[in-house]
Amino acid sequence: MATKTHRLGTKTWFLPIRHRLLAWVVVAALVGVAIPQSSGALSTLVPVFLAGQVLGVALNLTPGEIRAAFRQAPLVGLALLLQWTALPGLGLALHLLAPTPTLADGILICAVAPAEITSGLMATIAGGDAALATACMAGSLALSTVLTPFWLVVGLGPGARIQSGSLALELVLSVLLPLALGVGLRARFPRIARWRHLWLDLSAVCLLLVVLAGTASARSVLLSAAILVMLPLVLALLLGGGVFGWGLGKALGLTHRRATAVGFPIGIREFGVAIAVAVVVAPRSAAVGGVYGIVMVAGAGTLATWMARRQPGAVDNPRPGGGPSSVVVVR
Q: pLDDT tens string for the chain (331 positions)?
A: 444 444 444 344 445 787 788 888 888 888 888 888 776 677 778 888 889 999 999 998 988 888 888 899 999 999 999 999 999 999 999 999 999 999 999 999 999 999 998 899 999 999 999 999 999 999 998 899 899 999 999 999 888 777 777 778 877 888 889 999 999 999 999 999 899 889 989 999 999 998 888 887 788 888 888 899 999 999 999 999 999 999 999 999 999 999 999 999 999 999 988 988 888 888 889 999 999 999 999 999 999 989 988 876 554 544 444 333 333 333 2
Please tell me the predicted confidence (pLDDT) of residue 314: 54
Closest to 108 in 3D by CA, of 98, 122, 116? 98
Q: Which CA distances in Å does 215 have to 4, 33, 66, 327?
A: 42, 7, 34, 34
Please tell me the predicted confidence (pLDDT) of residue 313: 53
CATH T-level fold of 20-312: Na+/H+ antiporter like fold (1.20.1530)
Query: What are the beta bridge partners of residue 269?
Result: 115
CA distance 91 to 85: 10
Main-chain phi, psi angles of 6, to 5 degrees: -115, 135
Please tell me the predicted confidence (pLDDT) of residue 110: 96
Domain boundaries, the chain: 20-312
Helix axes 226-252, 73-83, angle to 10 degrees: 150
Could you tell me if 6 and 317 are in contact, meaning their C-beta atoms sit under 8 angstroms apart?
no
